[in-house]
Structure 1
Amino acid sequence: MGTESASGAEYAPGASTGWRRWRVRLARRILPRSLLGRMLLIGFIPLLATQAISLELFYGNYLQIVSRRLSNDMATTISMTLDMLERYPSDTDRKWILEDVGRRAGLVMTLREGESLQRRGSNHVLGPIDEDLARDLQASVRWPTFVDWKKAHRRVVILVQTPIGVLQVVALRKRLDVAPVWLFVAWASGSALLLFLIAALFMRNQVRAIRRLARAAELFGLGRDTVPIVPEGAQEIRKASVAFNRMRDRINRFVEQRTTVLAGVSHDLRTPLTRLRLSLAMFPRSGMVQAEDLQPDIADMIGDIVEMEHMIEGYLSFARGEGAETPSVIRVEDLFEESVAALRRVGARARIGFVNPPDLSITGRSNALRRVLNNVVENARHHATRIELSAERGRKQVFVYIDDDGCGVEEARRESVFRAFESGKEGGTGLGLAIARDIIHAHGGHIGLEAGPLGGARVRIELPA
């Protein structure tokens, strides 16, 4: 027994957690995902509840009371008429009673002697109204009755079985039916709809300001800098817009200052290297035995200087980035053709695979994307003999693939090769793939390594369409 209770205690929290998660998932599926939809739902549900409560209070209390009173008045009039007909059985008295009661009560009464009632009850059509009338007739009249709501247009025919025949009472339906019910429902629904549309208009303007702010932030993050956004909407949204504009200006100033400083660093570093190259070039190469002995050393020093310049250029490119370039529309096939032509000039086997669709294009900084493609294919050229470039369009993005037939990259190293200086262990500066990743991330995309169809590695680049 103790074991069962313990297991039950352990099971209860899990069941409660599962039920809670199921409710959360159900609510997420039912509720709208957009801010505008949720704001409209927040405004619409209380409005609908208020109108429903008002309708229930009016229809459920006032209208039902009025309906019962009208039905009771009709049943009482018919009951008194039957009592008088029974008390005064002569034909003259009966005729006078029917005419007088009909004139005073606004009814048409006819006594059909010798007939019998074929149906009883009511052909139910209106709900509580005819139910109230049938119930009151049953309580007030001791003979069988039938209420016909369909025989005459806008009239109600009440038939009562008496010992001498059938008493027919014709009354206008408005004597029993509370006509303004549909009018009240239409007014309640129309006013709710009108208020909902007005609220939706105001909420849409607020959400539009948030969408513009989000769009401006997305474009700024992708490097597609736009003009400062105009603050609009609620006070909190205006403050967020002003804060975004200030942040944008600070980032732009920082990038401009960094670019200026790096340009100065590049100049300061290249100047002494250029002087060294000139000094080594002017060093006497003949006339002295010692000079001839120094020729190999001079060549090595010139090679070191070239390598230093290449390294400095790589470091500066990595630090500087390509943020100052203006984005434009670029055909993917044009990028491929330039890269393939450059590879073929150095003797590499390269070709363009599929480009689907053929006129596939992307929006970005052309020089930066060329640098990405050149860095990737140059890295592949050092490890493979055949390179293939292909691209295709996804739902909201463009996929670019660079495949090779090299030895590939182990799965454990597919992320680390994009780190700075990681690939430099096998020659080079180790910044090519790091620069490529930074540029792709700046475009709002992703770059990664995976197994390729040619047996080597595949570089998979994903960019926004």
Structure 2
Amino acid sequence: MTAAAGPDRASGAAARRDRRGRGGLWLKRFLPRTLFGRSLLIIVTPVILAQAVATWIFYDRHWDTVTNRLAFAVAGDIATVIAQLEHDPSEEGRNWALATTARTTDLIVTLEPGKILPDERPVLRGLLQRTLGKAMDERVARPFAINAEVAHEWYEIRVQMADGVLSVMSPERRLFTPTSYIFILWMVGSAIVLFAVAILFMRNQIRPIKRLAAAADSLGKGRDVTNFKMEGATEVRQAASAFLLMRERIQRQITQRTEMLAGVSHDLRTPLTRMKLALDMLGAMAEGCEAEIEELMTDVAEMEAMIEGYLAFARGEGTEAVQPTDLSRLLNEAAAGARRQGTEVSLSLDGPITLPLRPNAMRRCIDNLLVNAGRHAGSAWVRAAQRGGTVEIVIDDDGPGIPAAMREDVFKPFFRIDRSRNLDTGGSGLGLTIARDVARGHGGDITLDDSPYGGLRALVRLPL
């Protein structure tokens, strides 16, 4: 029995956690998504609750004390008039009672002899009429009717008596006090002022955060971040200071890598040049080793091309500035270069597209993708279009493609697909790596997929 209760208790706890999780997700759908909205909600919600409590307490005390007292006072005056009329039913006594009431109260009282009220009691509408009705039931205890539409700011109270109907006209001020209107106007006015101050204050606090986010977004897209300064609250200034330090470290790292690779270029070109000269001289002197010497010369040329390609990319990344670039023109130039190398390229553009780019780096990215397509396929199809805030460049080919399990590995430096499987990527192993680095340096990315033409599809996404 105990062993069975354990799993039941665990399943019950899990069910309760699941219900709480669903409840939290349901609540989050209605919460503001922006920091401004959530901060304003944090400020406004306690104020609204406080005002709601204050309003409830005010109305409760107001109607319990002021309105009830006013209504019972009017009902008491009516009960007094009725008592006087019944005490002396003569015409002289009736006239004295009515004159005394008119002189000492604000009520206008008339007696309608022979009149009878309808048997059906009219419905009392509104809180004020119901309160007055309650007072009439307790103080007068006679059939009555209340009419609030007989005159502006006047209430008519008709009471059934033995010899007729007593009509009492009471001014509204004897039953109602305008403090409720004043209180409501004060509450609404103060809430509006508070909301306006909160909105202005929160906008000023959110503005530095938005500027920091825009600066980080620009830096992530490889664009220059100029005229950015620290401002706002202490925490925001700390975040801005950390961002500026991060930007300096990134720029210093890029500069150091560029300078290091420039030094590597100088150091490696000299021995490569000597090796080429030595191979040329050896080819002239040695006989029967032409094939081996040709292979060594091919390896040296490949090493030189690899170094030149990566150094050219590093130099461009470190020094080239972002500028508005006509992508249509850039793609036309890249397609023309691929055609000169023997690749059949079909280009389709959805109108002119201009966006901030490093033109030389982006041309190198497209060139590398087209070279990769041309190396393994005879034809390539290039299409560019704008999709909302993103530009998509699609490069399809009809080659053998790349297995899905290796599509991320080919972006690693110097990675080559197994030659024995007849899927050698060729080249230096840096083409796709450089292409993705360029795309990500612009805030975008490159992904690989199956092409409808049977080969590989390279999709380049760039933010506008």
Q: Same fold, TM exceeding 0.5?
A: yes
Query: 1:57 maps to what in 2?
Result: 57
Contact 2:410 2:417 in 1 (8 A): no
Q: Which moved more, 1:329-338 or 1:89-98?
A: 329-338
Amino acid at match of 1:322: E
Amino acid at match of 2:134: R
Is residue 2:404 matched to residue 1:405?
A: no
Separation in 1, partners of 2:227, 2:442: 20
In the TM superposition, residue 315 of structure 1 has moved relative to its aligned partner by 4.3
Segments of structure 1 that go 5 or more residues without pairing to the other structure are none
Separation in 2, partners of 1:110, 1:409: 104
Is residue 2:343 matched to residue 1:343?
A: no
1:225-261 deviation line (CA, Å, top 9, x unaligned) = 2125221111111122122222222322232232223
Q: Which moved more, 1:152-161 or 1:443-452?
A: 443-452
Separation in 1, partners of 2:87, 2:291: 147
1:75-95 deviation line (CA, Å, top 9, x unaligned) = 111111111101111101101
Q: How many residues align?
A: 458
Query: 1:233 maps to what in 2?
Result: 232
Is residue 2:204 matched to residue 1:205?
A: yes
Judged with a 3 Å threshold, the aligned counterparts in structure 2 of structure 1 residues 366 and 424 are, in CA distance, closer, same or farther, namely: farther
Contact 2:316 2:360 in 1 (8 A): no
1:388-427 paired onto structure 2 within 5 Å: 388-423=381-416, 426=424, 427=426
Query: 1:112 maps to what in 2?
Result: 112
1:256-291 deviation line (CA, Å, top 9, x unaligned) = 23222322221222234345556777x5998xxx47
Amino acid at match of 1:461: V
Is residue 2:25 matched to residue 1:25?
A: yes
Amino acid at match of 2:27: A
In the TM superposition, residue 38 of structure 1 has moved relative to its aligned partner by 0.3
Query: 1:370 maps to what in 2?
Result: 363
In the TM superposition, residue 71 of structure 1 has moved relative to its aligned partner by 0.8
TM-score, normalised via structure 2 length: 0.92
Separation in 2, partners of 1:85, 1:133: 22
Query: 2:429 maps to what in 1?
Result: 430
In the TM superposition, residue 200 of structure 1 has moved relative to its aligned partner by 1.2
Query: 1:42 maps to what in 2?
Result: 42
Separation in 2, partners of 1:345, 1:284: 34
Amino acid at match of 2:416: S
In the TM superposition, residue 180 of structure 1 has moved relative to its aligned partner by 2.1
Q: Which secondary structure state, in structure 1, belongs to the residue aligned with residue 126 of structure 2? A: coil
Q: Which secondary structure state, in structure 1, belongs to the residue aligned with residue 83 of structure 2? A: helix
Separation in 1, partners of 2:283, 2:60: 114
Segments of structure 2 that go 5 or more residues without pairing to the other structure are 419-423
Separation in 1, partners of 2:54, 2:120: 36
Query: 2:329 maps to what in 1?
Result: 334
TM-score, normalised via structure 1 length: 0.91
Q: Which secondary structure state, in structure 1, belongs to the residue aligned with residue 317 of structure 2? A: coil
Q: Which moved more, 1:111-120 or 1:20-29?
A: 111-120
Q: Which secondary structure state, in structure 2, belongs to the residue aligned with residue 223 of structure 1? A: coil
Contact 1:121 1:134 in 2 (8 A): no
Q: Which secondary structure state, in structure 2, belongs to the residue aligned with residue 151 of structure 1? A: strand
Separation in 2, partners of 1:285, 1:16: 82
Contact 1:75 1:137 in 2 (8 A): yes
Q: Which moved more, 1:252-261 or 1:98-107?
A: 252-261
Contact 2:154 2:171 in 1 (8 A): yes
Contact 2:124 2:133 in 1 (8 A): no
Separation in 2, partners of 1:187, 1:124: 29
Query: 1:385 maps to what in 2?
Result: 378
In the TM superposition, residue 63 of structure 1 has moved relative to its aligned partner by 3.7
Query: 2:421 maps to what in 1?
Result: none
Amino acid at match of 1:398: V
Q: Which secondary structure state, in structure 1, belongs to the residue aligned with residue 356 of structure 2? A: strand
In the TM superposition, residue 303 of structure 1 has moved relative to its aligned partner by 4.3
Task: Please tell me the root mean square deviation across aligned C-alpha atoms, in Å.
Answer: 2.5
Amino acid at match of 1:43: I
Amino acid at match of 2:171: L
Amino acid at match of 1:325: E
